Structure 1
Amino acid sequence: MDERVDILDEQGKPTGESCLKSEAHRKGLLHPTIHVWLYTPDGRVLIQQRGENKATHPLLWDVSVAGHVSAGEEIITAAIREVEEEVGLTISESDLEPLGTFKAIHKISENFIDAELHHIFLCKLQVPLNQLKKQENEVADLALVPLFKFAEETWGLASMGKYVPHGPTYYKTIIKEIKNRT
């Protein structure tokens, strides 16, 4: 869906302007997104395999839930909405633990520069995997992996080509924060 997104300046502050997501991507304009990492109390992390028709990184494994923040939408509202849309889980603001932001700029092609400010949250997953309902057009698969295996595959980048390339600093932060809570 080509929704409107707010445009941010280099420091991540709203400029007061918005445009279609496709235009933001075409021009490389910084815009807000959410990343919600779901984890279990026993130290497993939910990962999603991106749909085969995604414009970026199709069929690679990624954050539990990710999505764009619509123009004028509150960050927390977008996070709650995306969790419901992508994995069919109803959560509330109190379930989300903010970790901060991470700026990511990826040049996909000459006409596609993905410039995003990820607002990152942790959320404890308190239902079994089989109770989640993936969004068919966005998510190819869902899996729960032990944190140590996830760390091995992303931190050491042993499985390049399996995961979206967020980079070691990003993955190290997520792994450390989940480990501190399990």
Structure 2
Amino acid sequence: MDELIDILDADGNMTNTTAMKSEAHKNGWFHQTVHIWFYTSDGKILMQQRGKEKDVYPLLWDVSAAGHIGAGESIITSAIREVQEEIGLHISPSDLKKIGVFKSIHNHSETLKDYEFHHTFIAELKSPFSSLKKQESEVESLELVSIKQFGKAIKNISTFKYVPHEISYYKNIYREISNRVNSK
């Protein structure tokens, strides 16, 4: 779905311009996204398998919920909206713990360039897994994987079935969720 988004400079600052998402991707203009990683108190991470019709990385495993931040939309509002749309879960701002903003550059083709700043959050999944409702057009499947399994996966690139974010990004997610679970 095409939508109007804010355009950023290469340092992540607002440029006070907007464009359609398709135009930003065509021209390699920086923009914002949200990534929300859910974990359970017993040490599992909710993974989303991307839909088979996605333009990039179809059927690879990825963050629990993610999406573009609409023009003028707050980061928190976007995060709450994406979680509700993609996995059918209603959360509040207090459920989200921001762990960073990560710059990401992927040139998929001449006409598809993802130049993004991922505003990244973790949140405890307090609802039963069975209550989640995947967005059919975006999500192929949902799965809970152990933190240990996730840690092994990000170390073994040859069998990597996840979207190819930077390994440092995945290590940050692993560390933050591990710290949260181990502190309980």
- TM-score w.r.t. the length of structure 2 is 0.97
Q: Counterpart amino acid of 2:110?
A: E
Residue 6 of structure 2 corresponds to residue 2 of structure 1: no
Distance across 2 between alignment mates of 1:155 and 1:21: 33
Counterpart of 2:58?
A: 58
- Report the Cα offset of residue 74 of structure 1: 0.3
How far, CA to CA, are the matches of 1:6 and 1:64 in structure 2? 23
Q: Mapping of 1:26-105 within 5 angstroms?
A: 26-105=26-105
Q: Is the 8 A contact 1:157 1:168 kept in 2?
A: no
Q: Distance in 2 between matches of 1:75 and 1:63?
A: 17
Q: Which aligned runs of 4 or more in structure 1 are off by greater than 4 angstroms?
A: none
Which residue identity lines up with residue 56 of structure 2 in the other structure?
A: T
Equivalent position amino acid for 2:174 in 1: I
Q: 2:150 maps to what in 1?
A: 150
User: Matched residues in 1 for 2:155 and 2:35: separation?
Assistant: 18
Aligned length: 181
**CA RMSD of the aligned region, Å?**
0.8
| Structure 1 residues 134-166: Cα deviation after superposition (integer angstroms, max 9, x where no partner) | 000000000000001011012333522x11000
Task: Please tell me whether residue 115 in structure 1 is matched to residue 115 in structure 2.
Answer: yes
Structure 2 SS opposite 1:148: helix
Partner Cα distance (2:94, 2:101) in 1:
18
Deviation at 1:85, TM superposition (A): 0.3
**C-alpha displacement of 1:52:** 0.6
Question: Which 5+ residue runs of structure 1 have no aligned equivalent?
Answer: none
Distance 2:159 2:17 in 1: 39
The share of aligned pairs that are identical, in percent, is 54
Q: What one-letter code is carried by the residue in structure 2 that aligns with 1:69?
A: I
Q: Which residue of 1 aligns with 2:164?
A: 165
What is the distance in 2 between the residues matched to 1:137 and 1:27?
A: 25
* TM-score for both structures, normalised by structure 1: 0.98
Listed one character per residue, the Cα deviations across residues 70-105 of structure 1 (whole Å, up to 9, x for unaligned) are: 001000000000000000000000000001100000
Whose helix fraction is larger, Structure 1's or Structure 2's?
Answer: 2
Q: Hey, what does 1:181 align to over in structure 2?
A: 180
